[in-house]
Amino acid sequence: MVSGKTKLAGVIGWPVSHSKSPVLHGHWLARYGIDGIYLPLAVQPDMLEQALRALPVMGFEGANVTVPHKETALEICDDVDDAAKRIGAVNTIRVREDNSLYGWNTDCEGFRRNLETESKWKATDGPAVVLGAGGASRAVLAALVDAGCPEVRLVNRTREKAEAAAVAIGGPIQVLGFEDVASGLDGAALLVNTTSMGMVGQPPLDIDLDALPKSAVVTDIVYAPLETPLLTEARKRGNPAVDGLGMLLHQAAPGFAAWFGKEPVVDRELRDAVLAA
């Protein structure tokens, strides 16, 4: 039951109806018996600043921000962490005691934790290949570099975008075109797809995996469909494969802990609840 003491949080997006975050946080709130609520908040782009400034006014603990607000949220927050600055996007906000807004990016941690939980991958295993250089890619790049990955090979259709991402994130990132993907895959310990290829309604990602060692972990941050053609292909040739849903689940945990005061567990029950929604 909602009362005057109920802790408030939510996800701000436009549109927001597709977001799985309310189900995810709602599941944890019920599991831990926390007096809290997590709402979908549909906010038009030109109203984002008013909406974020209203969070402390209305007693919210904080919020997630999603498409298309992540970049603007970075500008609006009073304070942001360094990784979020390099990535250029904030996805989680906490209202501090003085009513200021602190923003950070939990996609990095979500990406890394998903891989570490679902496979034997360690950042130090060897070079990583990242396909795509959009917003999601930047969080993956920061996660890899900050975890100590010795070399990241960033493959993108538009070279300038990849070069800009490499500069913003910093560290051992080398930019390649799709024509060089075979040399990129050679000796790699990890392959990550961050492009929209393979997503429902998009063309499949059509790359030759021949040069990729069979021990390399393959992951797709796309989770609709859960089993992308890339993951199917990887499993067929014997590579360990990790789907993208776990990244969504793991990126939610730090926000939940900050707002509701409980470190939540990511497990099969949570995954099933989100899949069923």
Active site residues: 70
Q: Which range of residues in 44-52, 189-197, 235-243, 246-254 is near ligand ATR by CB under 6 A? A: 189-197
Cβ distance to ligand ATR smaller for residue 197 or 231: 197
d(CA 255, CA 10): 10
Kindly identify the residues of this chain, within the stretch 134-153, that bind ligand ATR according to CB under 6 A: 134-137
Answer yes or no whether residue 66 interacts with ligand ATR by CB under 6 A.
no
Q: Which range of residues in 53-61, 131-139, 236-244, 263-271 is near ligand ATR by CB under 6 A? A: 131-139
Longest dimension (CA), the chain: 60
**Six token digits for residue 214:** 């069979």
**Six token digits for residue 247:** 């990244």
d(CA 250, CA 256): 10
Q: Which range of residues in 96-104, 191-199, 237-245, 260-268 is near ligand ATR by CB under 6 A? A: 191-199
Selected from 64, 66, 195, 219, the binder of ligand ATR by CB under 6 A is 195
The DSSP output letter for 33 is T
Answer yes or no whether residue 156 interacts with ligand ATR by CB under 6 A.
yes
Q: Which range of residues in 15-23, 92-100, 190-198, 237-245 is near ligand ATR by CB under 6 A? A: 190-198
Cβ distance to ligand ATR smaller for residue 133 or 273: 133
Neighbours of 28 (CB within 10 A): 22
Selected from 10, 88, 132, 246, the binder of ligand ATR by CB under 6 A is 132
**Helix (H/G/I), strand (E/B), else coil: 217:** strand
Rounded alpha-carbon distances, angstroms, from residue 140 to 86, 132, 137, 262: 12, 10, 5, 26
Shortest CB 107 distance to ligand ATR, Å: 10
Q: Are 112 and 83 in contact (CB under 8 A)?
A: no
Selected from 197, 209, 249, 258, the binder of ligand ATR by CB under 6 A is 197
Cβ distance to ligand ATR smaller for residue 88 or 240: 88
Shortest CB 191 distance to ligand ATR, Å: 15
Determine which helix (DSSP H) or strand (DSSP E) holds 103, and give its type and residue range: strand 101-104
> Is 166 exposed, middle or buried, given 0-12, 13-18 or 19+ CB atoms closer than 10 A?
buried
**Nearest residue by C-beta to ligand ATR?**
134
d(CA 110, CA 246): 8
First to last CA, the chain: 21
Cβ distance to ligand ATR smaller for residue 72 or 196: 196
- Residues that bind ligand ATR in the complex, under the rule CB under 6 A: 132-137, 156-158, 161, 194-197, 203
